[in-house]
Amino acid sequence: MNSMTPPQLLQSLHWRYATKAFDATKKIPRDVWQALEQALVLTPTSYGLQPYQFLRVEDPALRAALLPHSWSQRQVVDADQLVVFTARTEMTEADVDKLIRRIAEVRQVPAAALETYRGMMLSDIVHGPRGKKALEWATRQAYIALGNLMTCAAVLGVDTCALEGLNPLEYDRILKLEGTGYVTVVACAVGYRAADDKHAGLAKVRYEMTDLIRSV
């Protein structure tokens, strides 16, 4: 099962760049956007716990309110879509039980058969040492989703720009995240590059492969 050849993949990855200027008039076709939403949902996570929510910010007023808290990066208002990645602030027994119920439902197995798996999660990410760092652990899972989204968009010919340069507390306030158990960690603009974005033509800067990958 392979959908691309290695040269096709590399062509897409070279085509991708952190888009600075989006064409505000160009919309992502419905089937393409739905595939990207599905891709977000299908992101792999630790234990399958999916400790995040993705906010699709459609309201132009909200986008405008976010702009000054995004280092004024125009992608926030110009890109067809803006996805804000939020992460779960803590992991509780209820979070684990919610996943157990979902596994039981999807795979048609009794929840009791998942007791060992439940215990593993509880002793690690809830009550174990990682439980104290649950937000950071959840944030890392959100970053897997971010990497997944940018790559999926690239192979579908859709532009993205990850936005770490934002004020998470202001995002939380504007997006009314207080009390939800989720906080903003990063965002990603998704759409199409403007024809005159001169960043599109710049050579991609990466360290030599031998600096980044070591064989041992």
Residues 77-96 that bind a copy of itself (CB under 8 A): none
Does residue 65 belong to the site contacting a copy of itself (CB under 8 A)?
Answer: no
Does residue 198 belong to the site contacting a copy of itself (CB under 8 A)?
Answer: no
Single residue of 24, 26, 32, 181 touching a copy of itself by CB under 8 A: 32
For residues 76 and 158, what is the distance between their CA atoms, to the nearest angstrom? 16
Which among 172, 182, 175, 177 has a CA at the least distance from the CA of 90?
182
DSSP code at position 3: S
AA identity, residue 21:
A
Kindly determine how many residues on this chain lie close enough to bind a copy of itself according to the rule CB under 8 A: 80
AA identity, residue 158:
V
Q: Which of residues 35-64 bind a copy of itself (CB under 8 A)?
A: 35, 37-44, 46, 48, 50, 52-59, 62
Site string for a copy of itself, 101-140 (x = CB under 8 A): -xx--xx----------------------------x--xx
For residues 57 and 188, what is the distance between their CA atoms, to the nearest angstrom? 11
Does residue 178 belong to the site contacting a copy of itself (CB under 8 A)?
Answer: no
Please, which residue, 94 or 213, has the CB nearer to a copy of itself?
A: 213
Does residue 195 belong to the site contacting a copy of itself (CB under 8 A)?
Answer: no
Does residue 164 belong to the site contacting a copy of itself (CB under 8 A)?
Answer: yes
Does residue 202 belong to the site contacting a copy of itself (CB under 8 A)?
Answer: yes
SS3 category, 55: strand
Does residue 143 belong to the site contacting a copy of itself (CB under 8 A)?
Answer: yes
The DSSP H or E segment spanning 162 is strand 159-163
- CB contact set of 133 (below 8 Å; sequence gap of 6+): none
For residues 189 and 115, what is the distance between their CA atoms, to the nearest angstrom? 40
**Cβ-count burial 110-142 (b if 16+ within 10 Å, e if not):** eeeebeeebeebbebbbeeeebeebbebbbebb
Contact stretch for a copy of itself (CB under 8 A) within 72-80, 88-96, 156-164: 156-164
Q: Which of residues 4-23 bind a copy of itself (CB under 8 A)?
A: 4-16, 18
